[in-house]
Structure 1
Amino acid sequence: MSGERDDLRAMVRDLLTDRAGPQQVRTALDRPEGHDPALWRTVAELGLAGLLVPEEYGGAGAEFADMAVVLHELGRGVVPLPILSSGVLAATVLTGTDNRAVAAELLPGIAVGERAVAVAVGGPDGRPSTGTWEVRATPVGRGTRLDGVSGYVVDAVGSDSLIVGAVGPQGPVLAAIDSAQARIEHIETVDRTRRLGRVVLTGVEVGPDRLLAGPGVAGPLIERVQRAGALAVAASGLGLVERTTEETAAYAAQRHQFGRAIGSYQAVKHKCADMAIAVECSRAAVGAALDAWNGPLREAAIAVATAKAYAGDAALSVCGDAVQVHGGIGFTWEHDAHLWLKRATSDAALFGSSAWHRRRVADLVLLPAETEAVLTGRN
C-alpha cells in the first residue's frame, strides 16, 4: 500500500508542479470560483475528487490515508481547490447516512467533480461544539424547519447543495438542502486560498426524505465529519510546513549578508532546526491519527485531536519563522511566505482551535465514560 501511495504522491506532485505554481495560484485566487476550474476537472478525471466515495457511486472507495496524500500535496502548494468540502466532508456524511436516496443523488456528482456540496456543522463563529450552534431544527408536521446561522463553512459560496447540522428538541440532526434555499455570504479572511462562507437559514422546511440523520443518530455522524475535517486540515498543514521548511532552508543557504550565508548565523540555524523538528513531529502526529482512523472510536478521537492541535501550532510557528528568515522579501505579495502564514492562520481556527483540541484530549483521557457516550450518541 505504501508503494501505491508513493505513486499517488508523485502523480499529484507532478500535476501541481506543472499546473499550480505560485503565479498560477495567484491567478486562480482572482477567478470568480476562487480556484482553477480546468485544474479541478483534471483532478476529478484522475479520480482524486472521489477517493472517499464508494465504488458503487462511481468513486474509488479508497481509505482516508489515500486522501491525506492528496491533501498533503495541496497543502504544500497552498492550492485552492474544493476537495475538502465535497471530497472529504460531504463524502464522509453521505457514506455514513442511512438515507441512501440522497447519497445516490449526490455522491456520483461529487465523484466526478460536478457537484459541489458544502457541509455546515458549526456555530456562527465556526466552533464545532453543538452547544455553540445557532441553527435550530423545529418539527413542523412531518418535516423540519431550519432557522439560524452557521459560520466559516468551507466552500459554501458557489456550492450546489448544503448539508446542514442543526439542534432540535431531542438532539442534533443533519439535513440536505439546495444551496438556493439559504442565504450564503462570503466571509473575508486573511487566507484567500480557502473560501469560507456564512450560511443563513430562515424558515427552510425540510421533508423527511431530505433528513440524513435524526436525533440519536446524527451525533456520532457529526463527530465523525468534524474529525474528518480536523484530520484533513492537519494533513494539509503537514504539507504546508514541509514545503515552508524546505524553501526557507534553501533561502538561508543562498542568501548572503555581510559576506556569509545567513544560514551560517546561529539565530537562523536555530530557527531552521526548530522548523525541521516541527515538521517531523507533525508527520508523526498525523501518521498516528491516520493509523488510528479506523480503529477504536476513542483512540481515533484522541489521535486526531492531538494531530490537529500539534499541526496547527507547528504551522503557525514555522510559517511565522519563515517570514522572519526571508526578511523584507517575505512580506511582499510576490513571495509565497505570506501565503504560507495566512493559510496556517486560517487552518489553525478551522474545525476547532489547538486549545479546543487539547481540552478535547484531556476530556477523552480523564472522562472516558462521558466522552464515550458523546462519541457514540448514547448521551
Structure 2
Amino acid sequence: MATKTSELPEYPDLVLKNFPKKEGETVQLEDGRLLGFMEYKITHTVQKKTALRDTREHVILLIPGLPGSRFYCHPHVLAGEKELNKKLAKNNSDSNDDDNESLDLIKIRLFVLERPGIGLSTFAKRSFLDFANDVKEFCVIKEITECKVIAYSAGGPYGLALAHSLGNSEEGEQGALLKPLVTKVAIISGISPHNAPNATDRMPWKFKLAWWLTKLSPKLLSLMASYEAKKAILDPVVIMRESLSDGPPSDRDIYENMPGVEHMCIESMLEQYSRGQLKTECYEYSLWGKDWGFRLEDIGKLGKEESVKCKVWHGEEDIGATAAMGRYLAEHISGCESKFVEEKGHMLYFEIWEEVIDWLMEE
C-alpha cells in the first residue's frame, strides 16, 4: 500500500533544479573517454581480533545498481568520513594497548565507479568485459595494485567481469608470481545470466515482462523504462516507495526507516536521470539478455596459482534479482561462498554492509 502523502518526508535539496551535480572526479582513459567516480576515505573496525595492527590502506571498488551513480554508497560511509580523524587519533593514542579494539581499525579508500554513460562517465556501448578493461586502466592511473570489489544488483555482472579478467595471478619479471589485481569480489543481490533456470519464478508480472524483454525486445523495454523514469523525476519520493510495494516488508522498512537510505537512492537516481542518461540504462538492459562474454565457471581458474575469491549474498524474498539468480551464480563460480538470508529482499545490501567489509578484509 502506498504511503499517504501527509506522511511522506520532504527533501528540500532533492529537487531537479539542483541536478546534475558537480561533485566527483574523473580520469581520462586511453581512448579519450572519462570515467567518473567518487572517493571516500573511511575506517572500519573488523569483528575478528588480530594480533598485529594492519597499517595498510585497503582499496575497495564499489559498482552500484540502476539507477546508480557515484553518490550511491552506504550511509555508514558518509558517517564514517566524518568520524575518520577522531578514530585515527584514538587508534594512535592506544597503539600500545594490544587488547584495545583500535588494533582492528583499518583504513579504506572506497571508490564508487560510474559505468559508461552514467554520471560523469562518457557514454559508450561497452560490454561487461570492456568495463573490466576500463577499470584496469583506472587502477593504473590511480596507482592501485590490489583491490577488492563490491557489486550490487545490476552492477553484479560488471563485478563478475572484473573477477574473470582481473582476478588471476600472473607471472612478473623473472617468473615471479604476482597477486591478482582483484583479490575478492562480493556480489550482493546480483542478477544472473538470462539462461539461469527458474530466475523469474518469484517476480511480479511487471518484472517478469521486463526480464524477458531484455532478450526479446529491448526497444519495447526502453519505452517502458522511459515512462517509469519520467514519473520518478516528477515525484521521486512517491514513485521510489511505490516501487517497493510488491517486495517483502523488510525492504520497505530499511528504505523508509534506516537513516540516509532514501535520500541516497533518490539523489543517485536524480543525478542519472537529470543528465538524460536513460539511454545508458536501456543499453545495460539489453546486455542482460545476451551472452555475457565469459563463463562463470572460468572465474578464478585462468591464473597460475592464487586467484580471486567470490561470495554471494542474497535475500530469499528478493523479487527483482531473485534468490534463484543468486544460487545460480554461487553454484557456477568455483569455490564461491554464499549466504542466503530469510525474509530479506533487495535492500539486504544496507543491512549487511559491515559484514561484507569484514569478509573483504579477511586474509
Whose helix proportion is higher, 1 or 2?
1
- Larger RCO of the pair (alpha carbons < 8 Å, separation 6+): 2
